[in-house]
Structure 1
């Protein structure tokens, strides 16, 4: 079976989304296990917790759940709102980073195989009040914004950890 040909808009949206995902991975590059697990801001989240949130609550939920309606996502029992942000000490950092990569790959397969105007296959009634997303296009735009926001959070945390800044030219 041949891959569908992506239209210009789909290619552009995917490119912007992948840029933000690369930003998330890139700003964490070189941090050791201790730094990835250290809460830096008063809210107490860690870099690994944020990446796990992006993998589960963003990539998996929006693409595999909302867009594709996969039962493995839509049938799971409700979790505490911040459960995905918690990474146990026995979970290797590499496992969380791999989870994010796998979920983005699965999301890309859904994105590239679904028309942008396609309505969600599933919607979590009541979870967002009256707010609703009506198409894959809206899901992608939402995920770009959320991923970019969290990439910015990681920028601030990384600068506080060791002074590194994303995309700063060095002399």
Structure 2
């Protein structure tokens, strides 16, 4: 039994476990970078690690999980570049906002069936027909961006995630 008196959804728990691991990967890589590298772009498109965290916070977690899946009325700013983190927001505040939005996303998913339809859609032809499909999209997007941060981190300071030191 789960906390809500029903049968536990092990598939949803497993997917959320993987998503939470990728979310931690994001935070860990940003925290491991030198502070000056967090605001620097390492790619021609110009995004920065700080901007990537902002994108994941607003465009991925808030938009897909809370607005689309749960149908919550959330602040979805228009006319902004979701890849730009406010200069007056510290790295700690930026990461705390991401963690808070991830927790709200998990809460939004708690009572939803994976086979249910998303509660809100923003145009006439939904890309995803079930909560499961949206959750998989969020997991893949987060994992993809975690890989982007791995490359940025290595370019910033040579740090490599999951590389074991070998004796000389």
Q: Which residue of the partner structure matches residue 150 of structure 1?
A: 145
Q: Calculate the aligned-residue CA RMSD, in Å.
A: 1.7
Q: TM-score, normalised on structure 1?
A: 0.88
Deviation at 1:110, TM superposition (A): 1.5
Instruction: Confirm or deny that 1:93 pairs with 2:91.
Output: yes
Deviation at 1:145, TM superposition (A): 0.6
1:13 to 15, 18, 40: 15
Structure 1 contact 116–136 (Cα < 8 Å) conserved: yes
Which deviates more, 60-69 or 18-27? 18-27
For residues 81-125 of structure 1, give each alpha carbon's deviation from its aligned partner in whole angstroms, at most 9, with x where no partner exists. xx1111232221111101110010001112222111121110011
Structure 2 contact 64–134 (Cα < 8 Å) conserved: yes
Structure 1 contact 6–112 (Cα < 8 Å) conserved: no
Q: Which residue of the partner structure matches residue 102 of structure 1?
A: 100
Q: TM-score, normalised on structure 2?
A: 0.89
Q: Which residue of the partner structure matches residue 40 of structure 2?
A: 38
Question: CA separation in 2, counterparts of 1:71 and 1:104?
Answer: 16
**Superposition pairs of residues 1-171 of structure 1, within 5 angstroms:** 3-4=3-4, 6-73=8-75, 76=76, 78-80=78-80, 83-125=81-123, 130=125, 132-171=127-166
- The unaligned stretches of length 5 or more in structure 2 are none
Q: How many residues align?
A: 163
Deviation at 1:31, TM superposition (A): 2.4
Question: CA separation in 1, counterparts of 2:77 and 2:112?
Answer: 27
Question: CA separation in 1, counterparts of 2:77 and 2:58?
Answer: 14
- The unaligned stretches of length 5 or more in structure 1 are none
